[in-house]
Amino acid sequence: MIWALLGVLIGIIVGFTIDIPIPIEYTRYTAVVSIGILDALFGAIRAEVTKDHYNAVIFISGLFFNVILAIAITYLGDKLGLDLYLAATVVFTFRIFSNVGIARRSILQNFLKKRKQKKAF
């Protein structure tokens, strides 16, 4: 899990330091791919924090599936003349907030549990 976070952090740093212009036609694709990647990342963080079984294969497959699905929905929307990328954006954003909320609750519960145990001694 730490390697996934480290990889994303390195990718963000490289992305900010290299100036590669993205054509305006691809901005929707870039947006949904980025949100799909964040969804997979926060899903992995939730799995790690809530003591679910984190599996790198599941993370990588989820990441690629999110990216491919987001691109396919955006492409279909472009061909139909519809803004279907908004549907992918809304769903991925909802899942991100859901995963962050679950992870936050789990971290807070663990913190309160440890604090309660310290007071018991």
Closest listed residue to residue 36, CA positions, set 8, 76, 2, 16: 8
**Residue 64 is assigned to a structural domain of this protein:** yes
Supply the range of the domain harboring residue 49.
27-120
Query: Global pTM?
Result: 0.79
C-alpha atoms less than 13 angstroms from C-alpha of 75 in its C-beta half-sphere = 7
**Residue 12 is assigned to a structural domain of this protein:** no
pLDDT band at 115 (very low <50, low <70, confident <90, very high): confident
**Residue 69 is assigned to a structural domain of this protein:** yes
20 secondary structure, DSSP code: -
**Residue 58 is assigned to a structural domain of this protein:** yes
Q: Domain total for the chain?
A: 1
Per-residue model confidence (pLDDT) at position 6: 85
Per-residue model confidence (pLDDT) at position 98: 95
| Mean of pLDDT values over 52-79 | 89
Per-residue model confidence (pLDDT) at position 52: 76
**Residue 10 is assigned to a structural domain of this protein:** no
Cα–Cα distance for residue pair 114/118, rounded to 1 Å:
6
Cα–Cα distance for residue pair 30/15, rounded to 1 Å:
12
**Residue 7 is assigned to a structural domain of this protein:** no
Per-residue model confidence (pLDDT) at position 108: 93
Q: How confident is the model over 1-55, as pLDDT tens digits? A: 677 778 878 988 998 899 888 888 898 999 999 999 889 888 888 988 888 777 8
Per-residue model confidence (pLDDT) at position 95: 94
**Residue 11 is assigned to a structural domain of this protein:** no
pLDDT band at 100 (very low <50, low <70, confident <90, very high): very high
SS3 89: helix
